[in-house]
Every structure is written in structure tokens, then in C-alpha cells.
């Protein structure tokens, strides 16, 4: 029962005030842009190891699912390690989540259940192409009581992108010729495409949230088209220009540009507009070194990483939960389940990952 309550609280924090993602490619270089829009900017950058055995944190009514991470990854986490909002792995696959009101996850069936944020970590652990993410639907289903209605934008090192949504209990994927523009905001991809030729005046019944989402989709699409006319484009700078254009006043907390081709992460935060860069080649993803985290709020210059600890993990969870009225009454024992979960993961040589 505690696990079920925890899962709902973890992902409830994911509902923001509008997020934006896109992919941009020029010649052999591929980048992925993302604005995270929410009420608070607390978070950790987490270095996740390869060859780690993990088990899904699910209610006792679910079959136990285990997997071993094939790839290391760097993720942005707000509710503790192993429950990311998005990130990039060694294979060059990026996945990010966004709120979608109409999401409906599958009902219980023969597949293994997994919580929605752990589903993201699973994909970063094992997938090196968008097709791997799609094919995981044969094995896994996001549990229906997750508490957060999300859809996902994924791009891989080949420049292939996909929008992954759960509509009426089934995975719905837009990729290849069906992905007309590599952009996703907070409306379904189908509705977003339909809206490109319409305006708010043509559909006055739209909610403010929907109108805002569709406006950002249209703005981002137009800016991607303008990029094609640039004579000497800089993908990183232009991606930040897009993110700055569609940012949400006081609610855009993190702006991230993943340089997939070079396995780099460029980012800035509301509290520190100086851009920083992380290179995956600088990290040891093996069991030979400790797990690392960086506090997004404490950055003053170069990104500083320190050894992960469950105490720091719990401190982040407490900061986030205590800052949100909907979560501040969550009891200590529930918070500690999440904070201590990484101690249950082990390297395949049976040494603790922590």
C-alpha cells in the first residue's frame, strides 16, 4: 500500500505549467531541446551506471520486474534518483516527458507493470534506438494508477524521433512519415498538427492551458522552419533561442539542449542563466567509481558533482515535497521509501550500486 501511495505522489509533481520539446538536425549533427516548466527548480543531475540490476518499485499486486542497465546515462531528477524526468544515455538516446491531460495508461494485463518515471529510466538503461522504446510495449505497461498523465518525446543518435503517447489505454506512436514536425508540447500530437492551420479565434472554446500549448507548438515549428534558412547555423545557440522564445514567464525552470552527436548536455536554470555543459565522456559509468550527483540549485560556475548519498537524495525529496501544498503532508516513511530505493539496486557483481 505504501508503494502505491508513493508512486502517485512521485509523479504528481510532474504536472507543470507547460513544457516544450523538439529535435533539430543539420547535416550530421543532432540536438534535442527541452524546457521544463513548473513551480520549483529544485533538482539533481544524476550519473546512472551501466550493468546495474534493478527491480520495478510497484504495488504488491504487480508481478516483479527486474532488468539490468546496458547503458550509463545522465538524467535530470526532481523526486529522487531512479525516477528521472528525462535524460540521455551513452548510446545517444534522449527521452523527455511532458504533461498530457488525455493520457490513459493500459489496464492490468499479462505484461509487467512499472511506474511512469521508472519507465523513463528503464528506456535510458536499455534502449539505443526509438524502436527499442516502442517494442518495450510488448513487455511493459505503465501502471494505470501512476497519478501523472504524461507523453514522451524520444530522439536517438540516428536522428530518428518519436512521440510516444498512451491514448485510450494503448501506446500510440508517431514516427517516420507520421512525425510531420519533430516537436511536442502539452497537447496530443494529432491535435497539435491539426492546430497548425488554425488560430485561437477559430476555436474560442480552447482552455488557456490548451491554447498555450498549441501556441508553443506552432512557434517552435515555425522557428525550426526558419532554421533551415540560416546560412551558418549553430545548433546549440539556435536551440536556446527557441527555448527562450517559448519559455513560460516565471515557470520555465530548466532549459536543456542535448547535443546527441557529441554526447553533451547544455543547460541553464531559472536561478542561474549562465549556460553550463556536461560531457558524457567525462564520466566513468562502470562499477569502479561511486555514483555521482550535482545539485542544480547550488551551481555557481562549472558543474560540480559529488558522491551520491541516500541522505542527499532524501534532502532533495523533502525540499520538493515541502515546497508543494499537494505533497507537504506526505509522511516521513513514504518519502524514505523513495530515498532508499537506490540501495536496492546492485551491480551484477553483487556489489551495492550505492
What integer pLDDT is reported at residue 300 of this predicted model?
A: 74
Q: Which residues pair with 112 in a beta bridge?
A: 140
Closest CA to 7 of 57, 43, 46: 57
* Beta strand residue intervals within the chain, DSSP E: 20-26, 29-37, 44-48, 52-55, 66-68, 73-77, 84-89, 94-99, 112-114, 140-142, 150-155, 161-167, 170-175, 183-184, 252-259, 264-269, 272-279, 292-295, 306-307, 346-347
So what's the pLDDT on residue 297? 87
Is residue 192 predicted with pLDDT exceeding 60? Answer: yes
Residue 72: pLDDT above 60?
yes
How far apart, in whole angstroms, are the C-alpha atoms of residue 36 and residue 243? 10
CB-CB neighbours of 27 under 10 Å: 8
pTM of the complete model: 0.93
**Distance spanning both ends of the chain, measured CA to CA:** 26
Would you say residue 200 has pLDDT above 50? no
Mapped onto helix, strand or coil, the DSSP state of residue 81 is coil
Q: Is the pLDDT of residue 255 over 50?
A: yes
User: How high is the mean pLDDT of the chain?
Assistant: 91
Q: How far is CA 197 from the centre of its chain?
A: 29
State the pLDDT at residue 5: 52
Q: What's the CATH number of domain 2-347, 3.40.50.620, 3.90.650.10, 3.60.60.10, 1.20.210.10?
A: 3.60.60.10
User: Exposed e or buried b for every residue in 163-180, given b needs 16+ CB within 10 A?
Assistant: bbbbeeeebebbbeeebe
Mean pLDDT of 21-38: 96
Mean per-residue pLDDT for 143-149? 80
> Span 303-321, mean pLDDT?
96
171 contacts: CB under 8 Å, gap ≥ 6 = 106, 134, 137, 164, 165
- Tallying the residues shown for the chain, one arrives at 354
Amino acid at each position: 500500500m505504501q508503494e502505491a501511495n508513493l508512486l502517485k505522489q512521485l509523479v504528481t509533481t510532474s504536472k507543470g505549467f507547460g513544457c516544450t520539446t523538439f529535435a533539430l538536425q543539420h547535416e550530421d549533427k543532432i540536438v534535442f531541446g527541452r524546457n521544463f516548466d513548473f513551480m520549483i527548480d529544485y533538482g539533481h543531475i544524476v550519473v546512472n551506471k551501466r550493468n546495474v540490476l534493478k527491480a520495478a518499485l510497484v504495488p504488491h499486486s504487480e508481478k516483479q520486474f527486474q532488468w539490468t542497465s546496458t547503458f550509463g546515462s545522465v538524467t535530470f531528477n526532481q523526486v529522487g534518483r531512479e525516477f528521472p524526468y528525462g535524460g540521455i544515455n551513452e548510446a545517444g538516446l534522449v527521452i523527455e516527458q511532458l504533461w498530457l491531460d488525455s493520457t490513459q495508461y493500459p489496464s492490468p494485463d499479462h505484461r509487467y507493470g512499472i511506474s511512469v518515471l521508472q519507465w523513463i529510466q528503464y528506456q535510458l538503461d536499455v534502449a539505443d534506438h526509438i524502436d527499442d522504446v516502442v517494442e518495450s510495449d510488448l513487455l511493459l505497461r505503465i501502471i494505470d494508477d501512476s497519478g501523472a498523465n504524461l507523453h514522451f518525446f524520444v530522439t536517438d543518435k540516428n536522428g530518428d524521433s518519436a512521440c510516444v503517447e498512451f491514448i485510450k489505454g494503448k501506446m500510440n506512436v508517431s514516427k517516420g512519415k507520421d512525425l510531420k514536425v519533430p516537436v511536442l508540447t502539452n497537447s496530443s500530437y494529432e491535435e497539435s498538427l491539426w492546430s497548425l492551420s488554425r488560430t485561437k479565434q477559430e476555436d474560442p472554446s480552447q482552455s488557456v492551458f490548451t491554447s498555450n500549448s498549441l501556441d508553443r507548438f506552432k512557434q517552435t515549428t515555425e522557428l525550426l522552419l526558419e532554421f533551415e534558412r540560416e546560412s551558418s547555423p549553430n545548433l546549440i545557440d539556435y536551440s536556446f533561442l527557441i527555448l527562450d522564445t517559448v519559455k513560460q514567464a516565471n515557470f520555465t525552470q530548466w532549459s536543456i539542449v542535448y547535443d546527441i552527436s557529441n554526447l553533451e548536455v547544455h543547460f541553464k536554470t531559472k536561478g542561474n542563466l549562465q549556460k553550463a555543459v556536461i560531457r558524457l565522456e567525462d564520466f566513468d559509468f562502470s562499477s569502479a567509481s561511486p555514483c555521482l550527483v550535482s545539485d542544480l540549485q547550488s551551481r555557481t560556475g562549472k558543474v560540480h558533482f559529488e558522491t551520491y548519498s541516500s541522505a542527499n537524495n532524501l534532502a532533495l525529496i523533502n525540499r520538493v515535497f515541502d515546497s508543494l501544498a499537494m505533497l507537504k503532508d506526505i509522511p516521513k516513511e513514504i518519502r524514505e521509501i523513495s530515498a532508499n530505493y537506490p540501495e536496492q539496486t546492485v551491480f551484477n557483481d553483487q556489489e551495492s550500486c550505492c
